[in-house]
Amino acid sequence: MVLTDEGEQLRRKSLEFLWMQNRDWVSMAEEGDPLIIEGGKGLRVTDSQGNSWIDVNGGYNSVNVGYGRTEIASAAYDQMVRMPYFPQGTTTVPAIQLGKKLAEITPGDLSRSFPVSGGSEANETALKIARAYHRRRNDDKRYKVVSRKGSYHGTTGGVLWLGSNPAAPRGDFEPEYPGMLYGPQPNSYRCELGGTTPSECAYRCAKSIEELILNNDPDTVAALIAEPIATPLGSPVPGEEYWPMLRDICDRYGIVLIADEVICGFGRTGKMFASEHWGVVPDIMTVAKGIISSYLPLAATVVSERIASQFAGEENYLRHVFTSSGHPVSAAAALKNIEIIEKENLVDNAATVGEYFKNQLMGLKENHKIIGDVRGLGLLLSVELVSDRRTKIGFPKELRVAERLNQKFRENGLIFRVGSEILNIGPPLCITTSEVDEIVSVLDKSLGELSTEVDIK
């Protein structure tokens, strides 16, 4: 393929001057990477060589309204021309409107937002609020935080120790933050505690968290943080019992329940917020990504009045500041983004097209023995590959299953990053059933080829 001079020059410069996520510049150079993305519309993006791609990842599960929404650009522009920025001690009209909007659409008594610029900052803020909350009530011993193996809550110095993911080892950044406790992930396909149905697994996993708390002195535990559905190991939907049990356990031991809706929020799972599937209201909820469909950086920590009221009064305020908190341009863009989600009923579309998508994947499973499990909710879906359905064993490293798939998807016009044998799907919520068919047909073809190559029949 002939590259335009400018595109090739840019690509070389990117290898020289940029430090990109999860890639290194030597192997990228060898593979002719990186792609330089230049335009987008709906589900599709175009690179500097004119190739069109379907973005099955939806950015980072984050471009909920899809690409090419010029209304959001106009809203951001209008705000930036008028009032580009001001620190959050004073405030601005769009920051207030967004705070009000979040209070309206979040469940229960979640009503006060601390706006920040990304999911990591939102979760850091949640942890700080949880610890400080207990101290304001003179419950001074509480500092431990329960998270779950196979969860992910961010990359900054506090939250990077929450959850765990074998694909992202943490040894580079030791020593670990004190007070981290880890519960099991309620994944009934591979239940750590031997549960054979979603219900049984959910019950055992929730009980196990209670035991963890009891074994570590409940009076020392500040918070429990969890995604309604965790994505790193493939979107396992917990059995119905799980979330109500977590809520009860937190109430019983005076522990703050933090729901990380960074990925799940804003329609991804077919409800505005995934906690709604189980009628559970957390004490603190964090949102990012879909709140603005990634058009600009924005996130928020949304807190119930019960928690926030401990910080009312001049002597009690929370000492915590970020320069870009409540950024008026990001807030104006987020408001427009939420308006699109509501006006176009994208939450309903996530539920209905998500179900269609899942059914198509179930259909694939019938024809491909290599598929061990299909799971997820709304447009947060996963396919787990196995070498043997009975033993659920994966593949030897030397077969390079993820690399093979990445190459096949790329050859077939999909942006669909695969890091392991678990394929995570999170496209824009405006996806149509015919676009689902396109993706599924590439999956069908690619999995067929892969099965032959790794000798699965």
Partner 1 sequence: MVEVPKLAKDISELRYSALNHLWMHNRDWVKTGEDGGPDIVVDGNGIEVTDIEGKTWVDVNGGYSSVNSGYGRTEIANAARAQMEQMQYFPQGTTTAPLIKLAEKIASLSPGDLQRSWPVSGGSEANETALKIAKSYHKRLGDNGRYKIISRRGSYHGATGGVMWLGGGGSSRSDYEPAVPGMIYAPQPNQYRCEFNGRTDEECAIRCAEAVENLILFHGPDTVAAFIAEPVSASSLAAVPGDPYWPMVRDICDKYGILLIADEVITGFGRTGKMFALEHWEIVPDIMTVAKGITSSYLPLAATVSTSRISDVFAGEQNLFRQALTFGGHPVCAASALANIEIIESENLVNNSARTGLYLLNKLKELQENHPIVGDVRGLGLLLGLELVKNRDTKESFTPKSGMSKILNKEFRANGLILFATDKGVSLSPPLCIKRSEVDFIIDGIHKSLSTVEKELSIL
Comparing CB distances to partner 1, the nearer of 198 and 290 is: 290
Min CB(305)–partner 1 separation in Å = 9
x/- map, 267-306, partner 1, by CB under 8 A: ---------------------xx---xxxxx---x-x---
What are the residue ranges of helices labelled H in 286-345? 305-308, 328-343
Q: Of the candidates 102, 249, 364, 414, which one interacts with partner 1 according to CB under 8 A?
A: 102
Residues 6 or more apart whose CB falls under 8 angstroms from that of 315 comprise none
Min CB(119)–partner 1 separation in Å = 6
Say whether residue 155 binds partner 1 (CB under 8 A): yes
Q: 287 pairs with which residues across the strands?
A: 300
* φ, ψ for residue 76, nearest 5 deg: -65, -45
Angle of helix 346-367 relative to helix 433-453, nearest 10 degrees, comes to: 30
Q: 286 pairs with which residues across the strands?
A: 260, 301
x/- map, 365-384, partner 1, by CB under 8 A: --------------------
Comparing CB distances to partner 1, the nearer of 111 and 412 is: 111
Comparing CB distances to partner 1, the nearer of 217 and 437 is: 217
Closest CA to 243 of 208, 278, 284, 212: 278
Say whether residue 358 binds partner 1 (CB under 8 A): no
Q: Of the candidates 100, 252, 306, 392, which one interacts with partner 1 according to CB under 8 A?
A: 100
Min CB(96)–partner 1 separation in Å = 4
Say whether residue 1 binds partner 1 (CB under 8 A): no
Comparing CB distances to partner 1, the nearer of 128 and 365 is: 128
DSSP state of 275: G
Residue located via tokens 């990186």: 34
Cβ(62)–Cβ(268) under 8 Å? no
Pull the structure tokens for residue 332.
């104006």
Min CB(105)–partner 1 separation in Å = 12
Residues 6 or more apart whose CB falls under 8 angstroms from that of 244 comprise 278, 279, 280
Pull the structure tokens for residue 206.
């929730």
Site for partner 1 in 206-245 (CB under 8 A): none
Min CB(121)–partner 1 separation in Å = 6
Q: Which stretch binds partner 1 (CB under 8 A): 171-179, 208-216, 245-253, 347-355?
A: 171-179
Min CB(393)–partner 1 separation in Å = 25
Say whether residue 81 binds partner 1 (CB under 8 A): yes
Say whether residue 3 binds partner 1 (CB under 8 A): no
Please tell me whether the peptide bond between 228 and the residue prior to it is cis, using omega within 30 degrees of 0: no
Comparing CB distances to partner 1, the nearer of 170 and 392 is: 170
Say whether residue 158 binds partner 1 (CB under 8 A): yes
* φ, ψ for residue 107, nearest 5 deg: -70, 155
Q: Of the candidates 49, 111, 216, 407, which one interacts with partner 1 according to CB under 8 A?
A: 111
Comparing CB distances to partner 1, the nearer of 262 and 347 is: 262
Say whether residue 441 binds partner 1 (CB under 8 A): no
Cβ(62)–Cβ(56) under 8 Å? no
Site for partner 1 in 46-65 (CB under 8 A): 47-48, 57, 59-60, 62-63
Cα distances from 59 to residues 56, 66, 203, 336, 429, in angstroms, run 8, 9, 34, 19, 12
The 3-state DSSP class for residue 118 equals coil
Min CB(225)–partner 1 separation in Å = 13
Say whether residue 412 binds partner 1 (CB under 8 A): no
Longest dimension (CA), the chain: 69
Residue located via tokens 């990504």: 289
Cβ(248)–Cβ(299) under 8 Å? no
Comparing CB distances to partner 1, the nearer of 127 and 191 is: 127
Site for partner 1 in 23-42 (CB under 8 A): 23-27, 33-40
Say whether residue 173 binds partner 1 (CB under 8 A): yes
Residues 6 or more apart whose CB falls under 8 angstroms from that of 56 comprise 409, 414, 415, 416, 425, 426, 427, 439
Say whether residue 360 binds partner 1 (CB under 8 A): no
Comparing CB distances to partner 1, the nearer of 323 and 434 is: 323
Closest CA to 300 of 111, 163, 171: 111
Site for partner 1 in 114-143 (CB under 8 A): 114-115, 117-121, 124, 127-128, 131-132, 135, 143
The 3-state DSSP class for residue 108 equals coil
d(CA 394, CA 372) in angstroms, rounded, equals 9
